[in-house]
Structure 1
């Protein structure tokens, strides 16, 4: 099974559930449940890949605090190689508080060490013998942005393929050199909002074609509409799988894990999309992005059953 290096951000998700309405300043309310789980796009994808059977080396930064130790312990229990994690005493580990009600949710994030990862943190030893490098949350990892072209070239020179999930741009400028990076990337995994923002169009099919013209295999996650990619000049669409969803947190990151798992096994593009859709859907069966992640058997069974 392929070894994947994931270079990215780490934070904890604290999910408070059973909230009837969103809080009003100056008041206090009670939640009926609380759950602490690993968060961040990179970490959820890494744990998803490990659950599917891939060997994963994680490179990231955490604070010298309880949250950082919690995330490292979770990674080690899942079998991830954590030798590349830097404990940064100058910054706390990131935290997202999710307030989850019956019909809506609200998120508040403290970024902490999320922005502190640098390309130099990904040493040659981390790349040696690996098959693939994955990076998520481009816009949140501001210190990694300028280093990514060099890091990607180093990875490719070492024989690795490369994938990138941009994440949402909080500044909504959709710049910061990302389009210039895409010709160096093998697989690009935006959602529909991100793809349209980067391509400068409101049409998701047009966005797919514009971004694909820059070089990578582009896969657009489109929520309930499923996903789409270009195949031989035509738009290939795969519908979403119907499951009894509890929480969609991390569904896109588990989608990434499913796609990369199948892609690294050299499965056809349509099969990769179905594995991605299956892993994304199955992850929504419980709260948080990691508590219901699919095994390879789970995903294969759903793919075999059909949408």
Structure 2
């Protein structure tokens, strides 16, 4: 069984659907039930990979608090190894309020705003042998957003993996304010990308800000030195770019419940397929399928297991 190490952020998602008016006068209101699940861009990918049957370990930091214990148990329940997950009593595990509108789009707000555990990753506490012995290493731009120990340690982890010949993937997860990418964050990306074999991200929300307004042109510029670039484009599907050309895969049509973690679980489907020896086209399709299955259900933890994914794909013609 392939061994995957996922590095980065783990938190709790507090899912709050918008109230729904039941009449035109707005005198009758339905308040959907609030849900609490494990979350985090990297953690979502780790759990989705474990559900697909891979051997997954998580490296990161949580607070030694209620949310941190929730995260720890959530990983254990999913079968994710937590040897590399540190619980620090001086830090706070973030709870992310995910407000979901009537179209399934989510609006996120994390709390508390100080002493956030995902920003901390002590290199001395990272089991580097797990990185060098893995079959794949994955992380997310969430932990590179801030000039903290997590940024520096993850960059170092990718150097170690690359030097050991371990395939790596990195999901951009850009945080863009007022249409401008923070120059410090952009510099951090340029430091890690040389050690990234698979660079994934949203076309309109991420690649569009890595240069000119041409998201595909920006993405193509990174498809060099043997690197594969994956552009996720929502309802349009996903695109794989290599030095040899472009491969497209259309999205599956589903009724959207919410989009929380859609890109994160896409990554899991893609990684699982590549590790199973699938072609680029097949891997794009599997990523689309895992994401489609999830968006038809509530929360980031609703990605499919291997049997559910097989059943979903068997019922599709796209």
Structure 2 residue corresponding to 1:218, chosen from 225, 229, 241 = 229
Give the Cα separation in 1 of the matches to 2:246 and 2:219. Answer: 8
1:93 aligns with 2:98: no
Q: After superposition, what is the alpha-carbon deviation per residue over 1:30-50, rounded to whole angstroms, capped at 9, x for unaligned?
A: 943110001111010000000
Alignment partner, residue 65 of structure 2: 65
Q: Is the 8 A contact 2:207 2:216 kept in 1?
A: no
- Cα pair 2:258 2:296 within 8 Å, conserved: yes
Residue number among 261, 273, 291 corresponding to 1:262 in the alignment: 273
Q: State the distance in 1 between where 2:46 and 2:147 align.
A: 20
Candidates 122, 146, 156, aligned match of 1:150: 156
Deviations 1:171-211 (A, max 9, x none): 5225133124222111111111211212x122232122112
Q: Secondary structure at the match of 1:33?
A: coil
2:268–2:287 CA contact under 8 A, matched in 1? yes
How far apart in 1 are the matches of 2:251 and 2:260? 16
Once the two structures are TM-superposed, the CA of residue 113 in structure 1 deviates from its matched residue by 1.0
Map of 1:167 onto structure 2: 173
Aligned equivalent of 2:208, options 193, 196, 199:
196
Give how far 1:124 is off.
2.3
Query: What is the aligned partner in structure 2 of residue 114 from structure 1?
Result: 118
Q: Distance in 2 between matches of 1:257 and 1:105?
A: 20
Aligned CA distance change for structure 1 residues 121 and 163 (closer, same or farther; 3 Å): farther
* Superposition pairs of residues 226-305 of structure 1, within 5 angstroms: 226-231=237-242, 233-290=244-301, 292-304=302-314, 305=316
Gaps of 5+ in 1: 22-28
Name the structure 2 match of 1:5: 5
Please give the secondary structure, in 1, of the residue aligned with 2:186. coil
Instruction: Give the stretch that moved more between structures: 145-154 or 266-275.
Output: 145-154
Structure 2 CA distance, aligned partners of 1:120 and 1:306? 49
> What secondary structure is seen at the aligned counterpart in 1 of 2:133?
coil
**1:123 counterpart residue number:** 127
RMSD across aligned positions (CA): 2.2
The aligned counterpart of 2:24 is none
- Residue 249 of structure 1 and its aligned partner are, at CA, apart by 0.5
In structure 1, what is the Cα distance between the partners aligned to 2:75 and 2:137?
18
CA distance in 2, matches of 1:38, 1:87: 16
Partner in structure 2 of residue 25 of structure 1: none
> More displaced, 43-52 or 170-179?
170-179
Distance 1:284 1:227, change over 3 A: same
Higher mean C-alpha displacement, 143-152 vs 245-254:
143-152
1:181 equivalent in structure 2: 192
Instruction: Report the counterpart of residue 26 of structure 2 in structure 1.
Output: none
Unpaired runs of 5+ residues, structure 2, are 22-28
Q: Which moved more, 1:134-143 or 1:246-255?
A: 134-143
Contact 1:3 1:132 in 2 (8 A): yes
Moved more, 161-170 or 84-93: 161-170
How far apart are 1:96 and its partner, in Å? 0.7
Instruction: Give me the TM-score of the superposition, normalised by structure 1.
Output: 0.89
State the number of aligned residues.
298
